[in-house]
Amino acid sequence: MKKFTIPNIYRSSLISGIKEKRKAADKFKKDYTPTNLNFGPIQIYLARHFGFCYGVENAIEIAFNTINNNPDKHIYLLSEMIHNPQVNADLVSRGVRFLQDTYGKQLISFDALTADDIVIIPAFGTTLAIEQALRNKGIAVEKYNTTCPFVEKVWNRSEQIAQKGYSIVVHGKPKHEETRATFSHASANTPTIIVNDMAETIELAKYMTGEKQRETFYDEFKGRYSEGFDITKDLQHIGVVNQTTQLATDTQAISDYLKDVVKNIYQLTNDTIGQHFADTRDTLCYATNDNQTAVTGMLATPADIAIVIGGHNSSNSSHLVELCENKLPTYFIDSPDRLVSKEQITHCNWQTKTYSEIEHYLPNKTPLKILMTSGASCPDAIVEQVIRKLAVFYGVEDKVAEFIQLYS
């Protein structure tokens, strides 16, 4: 896999050493047990896979190279590069300005742009309409496009099955940049609808079976379907694709559910299901799969709490929190500053995105066992800083240097 050049401020000698040793010992990714950093009074178990993925490193490399190579240009980001506050703040500090917020609200009008300006497309991709609006201004969209190749893979798969006459069901968060982009690309080729979760999928299926009347569909799924969508015929042949950072088990469950619905409606067998249900295969990115599987493996280790590090609007990070919360007390933070003290942590609710101060989050026991992972847009340096701060709380910060030497 390609190696990227990213700023050293995001690197960690400790984490890099751990990852390299694990990779060398497990080339085929079969061992999902966590790495134990035994500090004595506190033991930290790091997930087998976590942190920056291919798409994130690619986006960061392009963004920082663009800044360094164009000191006299106005440089804009269409929206957040990735869902990480430190990276986005670093870009702003280097003069980059955001045209939109993460939900698509315009912060700077496209009318303010000129053909001499640079606009970087984020890793999530963007809609065809926005691409065209930028081209109309003379902006070289393709030159500074950091769209993740695994997102583009979903777009390509959507186009392939659209050409065979299938409509697209997108499993994704409707307001997420990637879902909006995927919906745009899919709906340019075929009728397309977004479902957020299994509950919405079940309601959608009721229109397919006739349990619900077509008239209510257009209000219930307002803003989720493509122009001209006909509920009476556009779900007769379907394929399911997804926002790449969704829980793999959720996407699979949605796909299996709709497949069974189609089977029953048209009295199909496994041999004939392809007449109405497309084989879209897995469209989750490798990092999402690896990180989620690593968390499952990590959770097999008895522990007291879990800490997940990542941007609070990061979908893939939120799903890691969701997995951990099913097993043990879990705290979601985006920086070591959220570890206020040994007695208090500022925790983010992954569902509501609201913050709360939690007292006595570290159980009073020895040794204290903590499971730890991070999202695909979280720098390894942040993970090391969190580890160091916990070590300081227990007076064992000198052991960090020992671990760096051990894994070097």
Convert the pLDDT of each residue in 165-224 to its tens digit.
999 999 999 999 999 999 999 999 999 999 999 999 999 999 999 999 999 999 999 999
**Average per-residue pLDDT for the chain:** 95
Q: Phi/psi at 139 (nearest 5 deg)? A: -80, 135
343 and 318 Cβ atoms separated by less than 8 Å: no
323 and 371 Cβ atoms separated by less than 8 Å: no
Residue ranges per structural domain of the chain: 8-53+286-406, 54-144, 150-275
pLDDT band at 1 (very low <50, low <70, confident <90, very high): low
User: What's the CA gap between 277 and 259, in Å, rounded?
Assistant: 6
User: What's the CA gap between 8 and 243, in Å, rounded?
Assistant: 30
CATH code given to domain 54-144? 3.40.50.11270
Tell me the Cα Rg of the chain. 23
Token readout for 172 is 């994704």
Candidates 3.30.1490, 2.60.40, 3.40.50, 3.40.1010; CATH matching 150-275: 3.40.1010
Percent of the chain with pLDDT over 70: 99
Residue closest to 332 by CA, chosen among 367, 371, 300 = 371
Q: Which residues are catalytic?
A: 178
Per-residue pLDDT tens for 125-148?
A: 999 999 999 999 999 999 999 999
DSSP string, 280-301: ----S-HHHHHHHHHHHHHTTS
Candidates 3.30.56.10, 3.40.1010.20, 3.40.50.300, 3.40.47.10; CATH matching 8-53+286-406: 3.40.1010.20
Residue type at 159 in one-letter notation: E
User: How would you list the strands of the sheet with 238-242, edge to edge?
Assistant: 192-195, 167-171, 238-242
User: What's the CA gap between 14 and 8, in Å, rounded?
Assistant: 13
Whether 54-144 and 8-53+286-406 are alike in CATH topology: the answer is: no
Burial class (CB in 10 A: 0-12, 13-18, 19+), 107: exposed
Better-predicted residue by pLDDT, 3 or 181:
181
User: What's the CA gap between 181 and 308, in Å, rounded?
Assistant: 27
Residue closest to 43 by CA, chosen among 381, 365, 376 = 365
Whether pTM > 0.85 for this model: the answer is yes
Token readout for 374 is 């991070």
